[in-house]
Copies of this chain bind each other. A is one copy, B any other.
Amino acid sequence: MKTYLDCVPCFFKQALEAARIAGAGPRKQKEILDELSRILPSLPLTASPPEIGRVIYGLVNRLTSRKDIYADIKEKSNKLAMSVYPRLKNKVERSSDRLLEAIELAIAGNVIDYGVKNSLDVDKEVKNILDEENNRIRKQKKGVFEYKKFRQALRRAKTVLYLADNAGEIVFDRVLIEEIKRTDTDKKIICAVKEKPIINDALVKDAYRCGVDKAAEIISSGSDAPGTVLSLCSKKFLKIFKEADLVISKGQGNFEVLSGVHRPVFFLFMAKCPVVAREVNCGVGDIILLHHPGTLKTGKGKRGK
């Protein structure tokens, strides 16, 4: 997906938020926005939003002399998410459709606000999100939540590549990965994370910290953008990406960079902004499980582009 002009205000918003999280004072914050004003006109809108985002967060790092602005936030998210892990597992075990439950939890993990106080709050938030989610999923047309298609593709797949999104959230991904593994212990699952700190995206250490290694092989994709930008990825990753029987792409950032890729992908995310919602032809806040066929001609509007 290309970058739209509607993304421009959001880039300034993100830069300002990152500057503040980095502890920049008002003068430094202004310097960052001014520098963004200076470089933005030269950035190509044909690039995806995460590719532009990578430049913007790089700029904030440089001007604040920081390397991992979101380190504390990531650690707090991991800790909180790990504290509810047993209850997430229990929720899946009690469910009549364990896989669907695990998918819903994985999406809840993406939506959750880890800024909340404690594990009970997180519990409550998961519950709220799932209640809303279930309502939404029930309301949605089949096309935007292609669960049946996903289940079938998963059954056939011997190797599954799971593109993770954020720290904290990755605990919820682990629950889904473990559920996939449980149904077929011969399945090989590889979980790919980002190469270097970028926003609150999960890194290799977050994946280990959250026990994802218990069910999957953990690798870095090589991308240090807030999405798996293939041109930034390692050869090793690209080989796996090409050869995996099934790719599960988690989060909006991964959708933004891979929505036009020439291989089948299942996108699992919440449409968090109007630009992406328009791209998917859904509403803001909708839960998406989208099968992208990955061929040039799909006859399904924008999806196959």
Seen from chain A, the residues whose Cβ lies within 8 Å of a Cβ on chain B are 5-6, 8-10, 12-13, 16, 26, 29-30, 33-34, 37-38, 40-41, 45
Cβ-closest chain B residue relative to A6: B16
Contacts of A16 in B (CB 8 A): 5-6, 8-9
Contacts of A10 in B (CB 8 A): 9
Q: Are B45 and A41 in contact (CB under 8 A)?
A: no
24 contacts between A and B (CB under 8 A): A5-B16, A5-B26, A5-B29, A5-B30, A5-B33, A6-B16, A8-B12, A8-B16, A8-B33, A9-B9, A9-B10, A9-B12, A9-B13, A9-B16, A12-B12, A30-B45, A33-B41, A34-B40, A34-B41, A37-B37, A37-B38, A37-B40, A37-B41, A38-B41
Contacts of A8 in B (CB 8 A): 12, 16, 33
Contacts of A33 in B (CB 8 A): 5, 8, 41
Give the most central of A12, A16, A30, A34: most B CB within 10 Å.
A12
> How many copies of this chain does one complex carry?
2
Cβ-closest chain B residue relative to A41: B34
Contacts of A9 in B (CB 8 A): 9-10, 12-13, 16
Contacts of A37 in B (CB 8 A): 37-38, 40-41
A6 CB, nearest partner CB in chain B, Å: 7
Contacts of A29 in B (CB 8 A): 5
Contacts of A41 in B (CB 8 A): 33-34, 37-38
A249 CB, nearest partner CB in chain B, Å: 28
Closest 3 CB pairs of A and B: A34-B41, A9-B12, A9-B9
Contacts of A30 in B (CB 8 A): 5, 45
In the complex, A10→B8 CA distance in Å? 10
Contacts of A45 in B (CB 8 A): 30
Contacts of A12 in B (CB 8 A): 8-9, 12
In the complex, A16→B5 CA distance in Å? 8
In the complex, A36→B26 CA distance in Å? 21
A275 CB, nearest partner CB in chain B, Å: 12
A237 CB, nearest partner CB in chain B, Å: 34
Contacts of A5 in B (CB 8 A): 16, 26, 29-30, 33
In the complex, A12→B29 CA distance in Å? 17
A247 CB, nearest partner CB in chain B, Å: 32
A152 CB, nearest partner CB in chain B, Å: 40
